[in-house]
Structure 1
Amino acid sequence: MHELFARSAARHPDRTALEVDGRTFSYAELDRLSDRLAGLILRRAGRRPARVGLLAARSLTAYAGYLAALRLGAAAVPINPAHPPARQLAVVKDGTLDLVVDAPSRTRDGTRARPDLGVPSLLVDEASLTEPADGTGAAEGDDGGDRPGGTAAAPPRPDDIAYILYTSGSTGAPRGVPVRHANIVPFIDWAVDACGLGPQDRTSQNVEFSFDVAVYEMFVTWAAGGALVVPRANDVLRPSRFVGEHRITHWFCVPSLGSLAERTGALAPGSMPTLTKVMLGGERLTAEQARQWAEAAPNAVLHNMYGPTEMSVVCVHKDLGGFGRLVPAGSNGTMPIGEVLPHLESVVLGEDGQPATTGELCLRGPQRFAGYLDPAHNEGRFLRRRPGAAAVALPAGEAPRDTDWYRTGDLVRAEGEGLVFLGRLDDQVKVRGHRIEVGEVEAQLARHPAVREAVVVAHHAGPESTLVAHYTGTVTPPAELTGFLRERLPRYMLPSRFLHRESFPLNTNGKIDRRSLPAPDLGQTPH
């Protein structure tokens, strides 16, 4: 990955690589600063580290730190500063980190908010990197002296880990996903071409490092010689203003962020003419959301991007077209996720483990990771298929082979415009003996003209499960919503309650946080 940046630094040394905190850094400058930080890391660690934590966000330290770790041949391990200390400590321990690069952050009362992570840390502020190499402004943990520089890069092997991200596990403990250079580089090469990025382009870096989309935003942009522009956290909620002020050409976000912006008037038609590409992913994309983005960015092509962290950012893709020429929505009212990338393989498996039109999406190919950091988490996540036989799960404790299939846990259907995302398999519930995919109910409810977004949650009261629909938009009588759905869904799929929300809670990745939706008081009056 570092070689992709270094190549652009050699070709375009004077072009802008990074704009952050009101400052602009060329490729040559960012290369030099990351080299300096690599030297500081070496001095603090006493050797070349294998895994470097990055407790930093939206700062020069964060970006230089990521590049410095890769320059040293280490795996970069983002640690979200907004996460609770217990979660941060779990990442440090599970990832067996050698050192953590820490950027200054403070609590509201001005004190340093810095948990004890139990490993050496290197506190680096901007002055530590940008002051002249005279021994002043040394990072905390460095003894000053001659400023390190000219750190020899350590070219990684393809099977070396490039970065480790953590996803939520069903047990509540985060699962470490190690992604190798051999996994991520094929995606970056594909994305530079598919997304039409070049040195003239400017990408907004909208997500935190702990979300794999950040890898796209940084390294696809840098591989193409473009500029990475870092908004402040609140800027992404007002996309039209930020895009216009900073002449952004490429934008990647989750669909729900656009819905939030639309409610505040920040996604008005024609408001983002500089955008040439809008990438949407991480959630189901409704036809209405796609239309809003196409109208707001009339000169842009929309792309629907799908991919679990385990498949290296994006593995299924659909060019949706643009203003006035969007492809049709799928049968459930959502935009198709499209086709698997050309260098990957996919199969849709039914409940019997045989190929089917509707079923679980399984994937393999060079972007597929080799297994979780904790091998115990591999259980049930990989399948082996033999010609003519049903797919079977790998025996417990057996490491997956390159030819094995990763189970995404996502339910899809093959339709005319490619695959359509239906929802998570673990979102399936049984109501009165019928198996229901709540994503189908959500998609149909979102078609009602008064509904902007819909989330359907199963609640268990005694032996029976009931469906509760949460929605944003205009308050609408439950009878009207029930009647609307009754024309589109079987009776057993109808929610028993409809609860209006001004907005949905979002997690740190900007996705709707279903777990934070309050359980309904079954005695209250629905509305």
Structure 2
Amino acid sequence: MDIEEPMTPDPLTPRLPRRTMYQWFEESALRLPGHTALEIGDEVLTYAELRRLALVLAARIVRKHGGVPDRVALVAARSVGAYAGYLAIQRLGAAVVPLNPDHPQQRNLDVAQRAGVTVALVEERAAELFTRLPERHRPTVLELTEDERAEDDLLEEALEEALPPVPSDLAREAYILFTSGSTGQPKGVPILHRQFSPYLEHNIPRYEIAPGSRLSQVFGLTFDAHAFDLFVAWGGGATVVVPSAADLYTPVDFIVGRKLTHWFSVPSVVREAQRLGNLPLGRCVTLKHSLFGAEPVTAQHAALWHEVAPHSRIHNVYGPTELVICCSNHLLSGPSSAWPEYTGGTVPIGTMYPGMEGVLLDEDGRECDEGELCVRGPQRFDGYLDPRENTGRFLSYEPGGRAAVYDGSGPLTDRHWYRTGDRVRREGDVMVHCGRLDQQVKVRGHRVEIGEVEAVVRRHPAVVDVAVVALATAEGETELVAAYAGRETDPARFDAWLREQVPLHMVPARLTRLDALPLNDNGKTDRNALARILGTPEGS
């Protein structure tokens, strides 16, 4: 059976109060101090231990910085220090600006400077990152030691006295993520606590999160879904279980070995495990809920996962970073043979979350059954870090009327609709994703602007002109391929240069030199012709 109605708590259950991210964690930590909050490999931390570690780090920040910062870079991944550091920043009421230690250094520095961070928590391998900046522009840097628990012997009461009051201002920034930007520069997306809290209020009961629940933490901290993994779990008193990079190639073994009750990943994790022969059927019997998002979920792979985890409800969740992780959901349960078929063979993105409004608009700005999905509601962000990026990304629209594109000349209000850039079709009571309206694509679950990749390739001294296109592989994945005009360059060296400029998922799989890029009748790059040229490994 195909279920579209969201699960809701009993109507007599009191509504969850709105809180800051740290308050969601602390309420569970004070209520369930001896329960397990975090598992990484062989390390297991209770809520009390993780809370104390966060307090120690928060006190270190205040001491070294000489006060409470507004924005803090967190350059760490998949370690106790990374998660305690995240909570320490939240305990101070500051915004987390996650940076991936594996991303190119210059990109990380650019993001940190755009965000205006004044403090950075860094793991050992990133300890020298900020030394590349002139001293007057460097943030206060604190290195995360291997075991912060030995760093401070202050009593918990003394730690609390050294810190400001527990943050309660929902209008403050919770975190800032940077998404791929069409201008060649990443765009900063600040998310406030008042936008994040409604997301938790909806999802904790929806996915039946409670003490004893065990949730995967697959997503990196620069990927917005990390906040689901951490704070849906901690807000409900559950355990966050962190896989290693190797575990993601054998997800079934990890789920079974760790007795997970909830799994959340991009669907490509399933496809890759299937390709490697690491997807045995019927073993994930502890899973109650499986969530997939960040890229289209095919009915074929949903049916396969149903055989892998026969007792699990399967959710396709949808939403850009600007709408706090997810704003719609489609639920599948029962035998896959009974699931309806939808356009393109994909699982619908479903129906909007409570309080969130979605409308489909055609090119003329009028409501239609297939068009651009535009969204507003309590989870919608207030605008980009650089207000100039807001122009063209929002609409004014009232039912029955015609939309007007926001031009930046007036204030941006809650009544404005955010333009997702996604083409969506309404089929029955659900929405089906039909692709992108612009040049933004998903590569291995990451949102990538073609224009940003082109801007970086264009900086190479051998390149005169460049165009990048996204092609479908035989495995159903999306890969980037590039053609450039200019001086012949060794592909391996070119590839190595690109890996120093952008994250791996933004590096084109192939770089082909052409005498000239194909043009259409308007003199613009003919991307359809280019896709045909690059559609073979030889590029001919």
Q: Same fold (TM over 0.5)?
A: yes
CA 416–526 in structure 1, closer or farther in 2 if over 3 Å, else same: farther
Q: 1:38 aligns with which of 53, 58, 62?
A: 58
Q: Is 2:113 the partner of 1:93?
A: yes
SS in 1 for 2:438: helix
Paired residue for 2:404? Answer: 392
The answer on 1:205 being equivalent to 2:208 is: no
Partner of 2:129: 114
Q: Cα deviations across residues 137-174 of structure 1 (Å, max 9, x unaligned)? A: xxxxxxxxx99555343423221111101100001111
Displacement of 1:52: 1.0
Change (3 A) 1:97 1:298: same
The aligned runs of 1:352-367 (5 Å cut-off) are 352-367=364-379
Residue 51 of structure 1, CA deviation: 0.7
CA separation of 1:326/1:184 partners in 2, compared to 1, >3 Å: closer, same or farther? farther
Deviation of the 1:197 alpha carbon: 1.2
Aligned 1:187-266 pairs, distance under 5 A = 187-266=199-278
CA contact (8 A) 1:35 1:68 kept: yes
1:347 aligns with 2:359: yes
Matches within 5 A, 1:367-382: 367-382=379-394
SS of the equivalent of 2:24 reads helix
Residues 271-318 of structure 1 show CA distances to partners (whole Å, capped at 9, x for unaligned) of 322211110000011111111111111111000000100000110111
2:178 counterpart (163, 166, 169): 166
Shift of 1:34: 0.3
Q: CA deviation at 1:471?
A: 1.6
Select which of 300, 305, 330 maps to 2:342. 330
* Residues 46-72 of structure 1: per-residue CA shift (max 9 Å, x gap): 111111110011011111111111111
Determine if the alignment matches structure 1 residue 421 to structure 2 residue 436. Answer: no
For structure 2, the 5+ residue unaligned runs are 1-20, 443-449, 451-464, 477-498, 513-532
Q: Hey, what's the Cα distance between the residues in 2 that align with 1:170 and 1:417?
A: 33
Residue among 114, 118, 128 paired with 2:148 = 128
In structure 2, the partner of 1:76 is 96
Counterpart Cα distance in 2 of 1:326 and 1:161 = 44
CA distance in 2, matches of 1:466, 1:14: 52
Q: Is the 8 A contact 2:190 2:384 kept in 1?
A: yes
Structure 1 residue 105: Cα displacement: 2.2
- 1:189 to 1:80, Cα distance in 2 relative to 1, 3 A: same
- Name the structure 2 match of 1:11: 31
1:308 aligns with 2:320: yes
Distance 1:346 1:121 in 2: 42
Hey, what's the Cα distance between the residues in 2 that align with 1:134 and 1:78? 28
Aligned to 1:470: 473
- Change over 3 Å in CA distance of 1:510–1:122 after alignment to 2: closer
* Residue type of the alignment partner of 2:231: F
| Contact residue 471 and residue 535 of structure 2 kept, 8 A | no
| Mapped contact 1:186–1:367 kept (Cα < 8 A) | yes
**Counterpart amino acid of 2:241?**
V
Alignment CA distance shift 1:323-1:197 (3 Å) = farther
1:50 to 65, 70, 79: 70
- Is 1:328–1:335's contact at 8 Å kept on the other side of the alignment? no
Amino acid at match of 2:38: L
Q: 1:59 aligns with which of 79, 87, 99?
A: 79
CA distance in 2, matches of 1:306, 1:47: 39
**Aligned residue type for 2:118:** D
- On the 8 A contact 1:256/1:511 being kept in 2, the answer is no
CA–CA separation in structure 2 for the residues paired with 1:126 and 1:393: 51
2:261 and 2:380 map into 1 onto residues whose CA distance is 30
Distance in 1 (CA, whole Å) between partners of 2:397 and 2:536 is: 50
The answer to whether the 8 A contact 2:25-2:235 is kept is: yes
Q: Is the 8 A contact 1:167 1:176 kept in 2?
A: yes
* RMSD of Structure 2 on Structure 1 (CA): 3.1
TM-score after normalising by structure 1: 0.79
One of 100, 103, 106 as aligned partner of 2:123: 103
Pick from 153, 169, 176 the counterpart of residue 157 of structure 1.
169
The one-letter code of the counterpart of 2:25 is: F
Percent of residue pairs identical: 40
Query: What is the rounded CA distance, in whole Å, between the counterparts of 1:510 and 1:333 in structure 2?
Result: 30
1:407 is the counterpart of 2:410: no
Q: Number of aligned residue pairs: give it.
A: 450
Distance 2:30 2:535 in 1: 64
Cα distance change of structure 1 residues 333 and 225 upon mapping to structure 2, 3 Å threshold: same
Deviation (angstroms), 1:195: 1.2
Change (3 A) 1:512 1:328: farther
Task: Give, as a single letter, the amino acid of the residue that structure 1 aligns with 2:432.
Answer: V
Q: Equivalent residue of 1:90, what SS?
A: helix
Residue 98 to residue 511, structure 1, CA distance change in 2 (3 Å): closer
1:237-280 Cα shifts (integer Å, max 9, x gaps): 21011111111111101111110011112222113222111100
Quick one: higher RCO (CA 8 Å, sep 6+), 1 or 2? 2
Closer, same or farther: CA 316–10 of 1 in aligned 2, 3 Å: same
Displacement of 1:114: 3.5
What does the per-residue CA deviation read over 1:382-412, in whole Å, with 9 as the maximum and x for residues that have no partner? 0001454310111234331001000000000
Answer whether contact 2:103 2:503 (CA < 8 A) is retained. Answer: no
Check conservation: 1:336, 1:417, Cα contact below 8 A. Answer: no
Deviation at 1:128, TM superposition (A): 2.9
1:274 match: 286
TM-score, normalisation: structure 2: 0.77
Deviates more, 1:1-10 or 1:393-402: 393-402
Distance change (3 Å), C-alpha of 1:526 and 1:91: closer
The 1:511/1:328 distance shift into structure 2, 3 A limit, reads farther
